Amino acid sequence: MKHQPPPPPLPLSQPPSLGGATGGVVASAISSLNGNNNITTTTNGIEAGKCRPTLYPKPKTPSFDKDRDYIGFATLPEQVHRKSVKRGFEFTLMVVGESGLGKSTLINSLFLGDLYKNRQMPNVEERIEKTTKVEKKTMDIEERGVRLRLTVVDTPGFGDAVNCEDSWRVCTQYIDEQFRQYFTDESGLNRRNIQDNRVHCCLYFVPPWGHSLRQMDLDLIRRLHRKVNIVLVIGKADCLNKQEVRKLKERILQDLEDNHIQLYQFPECDSDEDEDFKQQDRELKASIPFAVVGSNTILEVAGKKVRGRQYPWGVVNVEDPEHSDFIKLRTFLISTHMQDLKDTTQDVHYENFRAQCISQISQHALRERGKLKRDSISSTNGFDAAISETDRLLLQKDEEIRRMQDMLTQMQEKLKQTHLMEMKKNDSVIDV
Ligand code: GDP
């Protein structure tokens, strides 16, 4: 049998009409997509209702005549890009650390905003009894047409009270609540418009005046490190000289290792990345924990405007890598690793939470089933209607358990693969 060549692709300037009532809507959508208002909306010989309801994206060089092998999927990255830009991005950052460590100043310096305009500082008496609160602030930022909805979750009162017991509880509860909400939304009907409030990164501020991490830091980090990507930051690093910064960083890293705490793990650089990117990646990794200085003041130094802190003996230029790791932190958080922080939240932390939830639900269903069975045995045999109702419930529960167990197996398999592939977060999977 002779092979028939496939029909040529439909010309972009004359998209197929869907026909019927939807034809006009689709045509106008195509029109706005192509930026062409003169598109004819006739069926062009294609039987109405039978053509493919596809909107053809306009490829950069649709040279069908020249390149006969052109299929069109090379435009997929552009399609994804356009869709993501249209949708915008969401990112939630939690800042944790005792008050006065420069958290608000740093956040304002990082995102060039003023999130803490109307802030009220508690006095000493208030702070003695103070409980940790969660304060959420959101700002919409736009840069070159890309919209970012940034949510900063602050924990005022953290570590302020004499008894800091509740400080960690508030943080873990907040993170879990966001996961729970996402889990509920995902199981609901309107899954397309879920708002993602999960915490993608936690900036944990360590004071510059200690010798290393304090017991309360270790306690909190231990409770959080399997729930969220923790990035350690030494605040007000201008209080320390270079050797002191180096020593403090070494001791902190040693403490974390001794306590088997795993902070956010940088992904390995792809071997085909260019050398500059690899170098930048190495420098970022070597700087952890970031020793930062924040400032909301713009100063003029040698004719140049810089974000800095003026002291009697000179100016600390926040953005100078010799003075602080501020630029490295900003590069990491915004330019290079924001998406990976989101992916790790989804693939590791949220999956752990989901696995736990499903395991709890299936255990609950098992208990219910056992209870129903016992009830059914103890009930009198004469009541047929009651028995058949019990049987129906039992079957329903069996089915529910079977579904949960299937889901659990799939998730465990997925988690295993993620771990094997990325070779990171070795301890992240919680056995269920
Ligand atoms: P927060 O309570 O942790 O949010 O701390 P703030 O950002 O309100 O800062 C508390 C005080 O420390 C303010 O007077 C800031 O000007 C000052 N401050 C902020 N960042 C730095 C820093 O990097 N170095 C120094 N020396 N002071 C800072």
d(CA 338, CA 330): 10
Whether pTM exceeds 0.85: no
DSSP 142: E
Q: Are 227 and 285 in contact (CB under 8 A)?
A: no
The residue whose C-alpha atom lies closest to atom 24 belonging to ligand 1 is: 236
Asked if 341 and 229 count as a contact pair (C-beta separation under 8 A), the reply is yes
Shortest-distance Cα residue to atom 27 of ligand 1: 236
Ligand 1: atom nearest CA of 107 is: 7
Which one of 93, 94, 105, 132 would you pick to mutate in the ligand 1 pocket, going by the greatest count of ligand atoms within 8 A of its CB? 105
CB of 100 within 6 A of ligand 1: the answer is yes
Q: Which residue has the tokens 């070494």?
A: 250
Q: Is 101 in the pocket of ligand 1 (CB under 6 A)?
A: yes
Residue 294 Cα: closest atom of ligand 1: 23
137 backbone dihedrals φ, ψ, rounded to 5°: -130, 135
Residue with the smallest CA separation from ligand 1 atom 12 is 102
**In 38-115, alpha helices (H):** 76-87, 103-111
Helix, strand, or coil (residue 429)? coil
Distance (angstroms) between ligand 1 centre and the Cα of 201 equals 21
User: In Å, how far from its chain's centre is CA 333?
Assistant: 11
Closest-CA residue to 373 (of 365, 385, 382): 365
- The tokens of 54 are what? 């596809």
Tell me the DSSP string of 39-91.
---S-TTSPTTTS--------S---TTT-TT--SGGGHHHHHHHHHHHH-EEE
Ligand 1 pocket residue status of 293, Cβ below 6 Å: yes
Considering only CA atoms, which residue is closest to atom 20 of ligand 1?
102
Ligand 1 midpoint to CA 119 (Å): 13
In angstroms, what is the span from residue 312 Cα to ligand 1's centroid? 18
C-beta of residue 98 within 8 angstroms of C-beta of residue 220: no
99 ligand 1 Cβ < 6 A: yes
Per-residue pLDDT of the chain (432 residues; tens, 9 = 90+): 444 444 444 333 333 333 333 333 333 333 333 333 332 323 333 333 333 333 434 445 555 555 667 778 888 888 888 888 888 889 999 999 888 899 989 988 888 766 555 545 555 455 444 556 788 888 888 888 888 888 999 887 676 655 566 777 888 999 999 999 999 998 877 777 788 899 999 999 999 998 889 888 898 899 999 999 999 999 999 999 999 999 999 999 999 999 999 899 888 888 888 888 888 888 888 898 999 999 988 888 888 888 899 999 889 999 888 889 999 999 999 888 999 999 999 999 999 999 988 888 878 877 777 777 777 666 655 555 555 677 778 788 778 888 888 888 887 777 777 767 665 554 544 443
**Token pair for 250:** 């070494």
SS3 100: coil
Q: How far is CA 254 from the centre of its chain?
A: 28
- For the Cβ of 207 lying below 6 angstroms from any atom of ligand 1, the answer is no
Which contiguous run of DSSP H or E holds residue 254? helix 242-258
> Look-up: residue for tokens 């019990």?
390
Alpha-carbon distance values, 379 to 15, 18, 179, 384 (Å): 68, 61, 41, 10
